[in-house]
Chain A
Amino acid sequence: MPAALSVQSVKKTYSVKQGEVHALRGVSLTIESGEIFGLLGPNGAGKTTLINCILGIVKATSGTVEIFGHNNMSDYVAARKPVGFVYQDIALDNFFPVHRLLHFQRGLYGRPPNPAYVKQLLQELDLWDHRTKQPDQLSGGMRRRLALAQALVHEPELVILDEPTAGIDIELRDKTWDIIRRINQKGTTVLLTTHYIEEAENLCNRIGIIHQGLFKKIAPTQQLIHEMGQRRMTLHTPQAIPDDTLSQLSFPIEQHPGEQGGYRYDILIDRGVETVQTCMDWIKSTGIEIDEVELKPATLEEVFRNMAWGNGQ
């Protein structure tokens, strides 16, 4: 059986007035049937571009995409048929009420009508009471759910979701997660993009980290969490720490002016109690005056900036 999705050396260069944007600089990826794969990366990493290349909305500059063994350019009818998707920027036709839109969507993917399934889906997404409304009469959250319903109504084998939970409340996010897990249990392969580590951790069995148009790492989730478990220690001091003292520390450290005067130092610490201890020892040894210390998980942006495998490309 062919892989659900196979992306080979895809490059995408946008021509803009100021020159060229290399949104994808040669990415390869294989997703097996039954996976939930998370495409994780900061804004501008190239996630949406990759999704659009897979869907064929954007033509890759080079490289190939196959969906269940069908090339998405030369054999696009067969490649598109098993796919359901939600764009990052949802665009819905406003000519029809919700339920009709979903009935059409089934037909557009060659599926016979199935009112019972449409009803079940609408109920599950709390849209049943709104089924006769036009999309423009729905709230933002409802439109998102409608887009998800549209992606699922033809019972696709591969579901592609671009930032399915960006900017929505926790309740809807949990619901979306539940649905993703449920369809996956029934055998649907899922590819989603996110810039929340938490989402990728909770949902995906494998994660690809993309940054500046390249995969930095593709690995099973557990392995990645281990490697990414960095923390950020923030120190607030009334006086600046001398440069030669700073250079004694082996962790990356950044100096900023403090919000209430003084200075703020951000230190990125590798995972583990040991290393936090090392840091505390260093602070003690310098004898500098400290107003406040904070310890937090590192943000994804910091992790990217400091990833050992993120440099030199």
Chain B
Amino acid sequence: MRVFWTLLVKEVMRSFAIPIQTLLTPIISTFLYVVIFGVAMGRRLSFPYEVDYLTFMVSGLIIMNVFQQAFQGITSSIIISKYRMNIVDLMTYPLAQHWIVLAHGVGGMVRGWFVGISLWLVAIFFMKGMAVSPAVFLLSSAVGGLLFSLMGTWVALRCKSFDQVALFSNFVILPVLFLSGVFFPAVLFPEPWRTLSLYNPIVYVVDIARYGLIGVTPGNPILVCLAVLSGILLFWGLGTFQMRRGIKLR
């Protein structure tokens, strides 16, 4: 227990070792998105919800940042350890491999959460109707963040360099996020994207987290939980499997 806890605290503190960068980059990029897309496109869209497009988009950006930062935080932490060669420490901790993987997953999640909450607070300050049900937002973004962070753990244990991680990030993470209704409701996607998005579990996580922020109706919450929990178990298992097989070094 103490071992797990120490590892977790260490991982969380690692991800905050460069706090300015951690926090400022997402805030600036969100601001840019808002200016470019929200303000420019917002007026021309007819929108099926009772909220305006800008509100919708900002809520999506907050959620996207939680997930992206969770993924990115843990992958860079692990890849840096690989470059410095102290990654072998992971193979010597007196802690079961699945707990080592989970500690990393939770560590990354906390970082994503922290970034998301900071963005959220900024949004609350500037906009109305951004905190309909905070508990739902906090919980669902934590669970979704854990999923992305465990995915990141697995990917980083497998990859040898930042380039390989970037490949995964650009060709898997980003498309999945963009196709999960972050900028635009998935139900309004043109075919075939609409049907495709029905099979993207992230769509539901985004929906439910967004419900917590701006109160727009989510899909079936039970389905969401099932999809996300199985995702978490899948990547937790894959990460543990990768540790058992041996971490790929440079």
Contact = CB atoms under 8 A, between A and B. Distances in A.
Interface of A: 55-57, 59, 76-78, 80-81, 83, 85, 87, 89, 91-96, 104, 107-112
Contact of A108 (B3, B17, B81, B91): B3
Contacts of A76: 94
B217 interface: no
Given A77-B94, A80-B94, A95-B17, A107 B85 contact: no
A108 B7 contact: yes
A257 to B, nearest CB: 43
Nearest to A134: B17
Contacts of B17: 95-96
Contacts of A78: 94
Given A81-B94, A96-B13, A104 B88 contact: no
Nearest to B88: A57
Contacts of A56: 91-92
Given A89-B85, A107-B5, A57 B94 contact: no
B88 A91 contact: yes
Given A107-B2, A112-B2, A93 B86 contact: yes
A258 B45 CA distance: 91
Contacts of A77: 94-96
A40 to B, nearest CB: 24
16 contacts: A56-B91, A59-B246, A77-B96, A80-B92, A92-B84, A93-B81, A93-B86, A95-B14, A96-B17, A104-B6, A107-B2, A107-B6, A108-B10, A108-B95, A109-B3, A110-B94
Contacts of A89: 85
B92 A110 contact: no
Report the interface size class on chain B: 20 to 34
B6 A108 contact: yes
Contacts of B91: 55-57
A256 B154 CA distance: 57
B93 interface: yes
Contacts of A96: 10, 13-14, 17
Interface in B86-132: 86, 88-89, 91-96
A253 B96 CA distance: 56
Given A80-B93, A89-B85, 10 more contacts: A56-B92, A81-B94, A83-B92, A91-B84, A91-B88, A96-B10, A96-B14, A107-B5, A108-B95, A110-B94
A92 B87 CA distance: 9
Nearest to A82: B94
Contact of B2 (A57, A92, A93, A110): A110
B108 to A, nearest CB: 15
A83 B9 CA distance: 22
Contacts of A104: 6, 9-10
Given A59-B246, A80-B92, A81-B94, A94 B84 contact: yes
Nearest to B99: A77
Top 10 closest A-B pairs, CB basis? A107-B6, A91-B85, A80-B94, A81-B94, A91-B86, A95-B14, A95-B17, A77-B94, A110-B3, A108-B6
A107 B92 contact: no
A85 B84 CA distance: 18
Contacts of A95: 13-14, 17
Nearest to B5: A107
Contacts of B2: 107, 110-112
A49 to B, nearest CB: 14
A53 to B, nearest CB: 12
A76 B244 CA distance: 12
Given A91-B85, A92-B86, A55 B94 contact: no
